[in-house]
């Protein structure tokens, strides 16, 4: 055993209370760990190896009780006291995107009570009334929902329950047509209380309005699963076949987006508003493949549901 390791063993016994032959174990309530590392002087690591003593809080030696002062060296090995705080296991706290939030905003988890979870796009207005916008397959369970069905925030997959997390009721949806072609996978929910919703989108802010995206335009979205991501529009007039739980449907005049770094979206991001860098909404995300994301054009969504973005 080297002298450094020997000194460490002494420290473990005298500061952390570990058993050691021929030595009385004592512990120092401020010490959370002992190790071997570089000595740091005024925040800069030096070449010298030291016995590291990690403490909850670094206190001036004059204020520390005599028996708790950490000696400058142990067995000839210099010590270095470093403030580490209290160590704890990383408890997974769900991100805001998947939690219950009131007022609820764009980018957050939402869904019909029978589905897993999707994303709240934004708020829309029709004749002074405010609605929550998302996809048909998020709010209306692929045509299977009925007007008045409870809408949960967060969605069921994120712990949403029908007895305490119902934010509103299913109002209208554009039915997806298995035989013909489709333009929009969209639906509206009516919040019980308008104070439970806000027009902001997490990490993006308020929308300025709606516009048409152009090829190569940079866009972003905020969604339940992959949160805020950036991408580029690579097609604005695509005809595509999209697989759903209930079958496969053809969509025309869609936009295709390629992620800037990695995927632009994943399962659960359906319903995200696609936003251009000037703050205008350009699309409503609803599908994707491992390589690309597909969105309805927001102009089609507004027309099909007869609403305006707030």
Binding site for another protein (CB under 8 A): 118, 135, 137, 142, 185, 215-216, 234-245, 250, 256, 265-270, 285-294
Q: Which is nearer to another protein, 77 or 255 (CB)?
A: 255
Q: Which is nearer to another protein, 56 or 228 (CB)?
A: 228
Closest separation in Å from C-beta 233 to another protein:
10
Q: Is the dihedral angle over the CA atoms 61, 64, 70, 71 positive or is it negative?
A: positive
- Return the number of the residue (30 or 136) whose C-beta is nearest another protein: 136
Nearest to another protein of 112, 190 (CB atom): 112
Nearer Cβ to another protein, position 80 or 185? Answer: 185
Rounded to a whole number of angstroms, the minimum distance from the CB of residue 216 to another protein is: 7
Contact 304, 310 (CB under 8 A): no
Q: Which of 102, 218 has the CB closer to another protein?
A: 218
The pair of three-digit structure tokens given for residue 152, joined into one six-digit string: 């949960």
Smallest gap, in angstroms, from Cβ of residue 239 to another protein?
5
Q: Kind and range of the H or E element at 308?
A: strand 308-309
The answer to whether 266 touches 272, Cβ cutoff 8 Å, is: no
Q: In the bound complex, what is the minimum distance in angstroms from residue 290's beta carbon to another protein?
A: 5
Which residues contact residue 171 at a Cβ distance below 8 angstroms, ignoring those fewer than 6 apart? 131, 147, 187, 188, 189, 190
The radius of gyration computed from the CA coordinates of the chain, to the nearest angstrom, equals 28
User: Which segments within 140-194 are labelled E, that is strand?
Assistant: 150-152, 166-173, 181-182, 187-191
Give me 210's structure tokens.
């709606």
Smallest separation (angstroms) from another protein to the CB of 271: 9
Which residue lies nearer to another protein by CB, 85 or 243?
243
Q: Could you tell me if 223 and 265 are in contact, meaning their C-beta atoms sit under 8 angstroms apart?
A: yes
Residue whose entry in the numeric block shows the structure tokens 């570089």: 38
Q: Would you call 234 exposed, middle or buried from its count of C-beta atoms within 10 A (0-12, 13-18, 19+)?
A: middle
Q: How far apart are the first and last CA of the chain?
A: 70
Report, in Å, the least distance between residue 43 CB and another protein. Answer: 46
Instruction: For residue 175, give both structure tokens.
Output: 């039915």
Q: How far is the CB of 145 from another protein (least distance, A)?
A: 15
């Amino acid at each position: 055993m080297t002298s450094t390791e020997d000194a460490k063993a002494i420290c473990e016994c005298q500061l952390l209370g570990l058993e050691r032959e021929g030595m009385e174990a004592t512990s120092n309530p401020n010490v959370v760990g002992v190790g071997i590392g570089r000595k740091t002087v005024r925040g800069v690591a030096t070449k010298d190896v030291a016995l590291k003593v990690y403490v909850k809080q670094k206190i001036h030696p004059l204020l520390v009780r005599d028996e708790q002062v950490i000696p400058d060296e142990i067995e000839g090995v210099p010590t270095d006291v470093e403030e580490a705080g209290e160590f704890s296991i990383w408890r997974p706290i769900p991100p805001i995107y998947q939690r219950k939030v009131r007022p609820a905003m764009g980018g957050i988890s939402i869904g019909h009570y029978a589905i897993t979870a999707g994303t709240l796009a934004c708020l829309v207005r029709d004749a002074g009334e405010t609605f929550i916008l998302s996809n048909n397959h998020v709010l209306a369970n692929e045509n299977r929902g009925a007007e008045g069905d409870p809408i949960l925030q967060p969605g069921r997959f994120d712990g949403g329950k029908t007895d305490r997390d119902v934010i509103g009721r299913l109002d209208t949806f554009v039915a997806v047509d298995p035989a013909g072609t489709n333009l929009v996978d969209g639906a509206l929910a009516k919040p019980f209380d308008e104070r439970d919703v806000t027009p902001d989108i997490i990490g993006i802010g308020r929308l300025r309005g709606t516009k048409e995206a152009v090829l190569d335009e940079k866009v972003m979205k905020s969604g339940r699963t992959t949160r805020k991501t950036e991408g580029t529009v690579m097609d604005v007039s695509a005809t595509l076949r999209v697989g759903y739980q209930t079958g496969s449907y053809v969509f025309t005049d869609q936009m295709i987006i390629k992620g800037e770094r990695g995927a632009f979206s994943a399962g659960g991001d359906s319903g995200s508003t696609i936003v251009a860098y000037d703050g205008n909404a350009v699309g409503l995300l609803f599908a994707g493949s491992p390589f690309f994301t597909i969105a309805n054009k927001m102009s089609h969504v507004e027309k099909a549901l007869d609403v305006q973005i707030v």
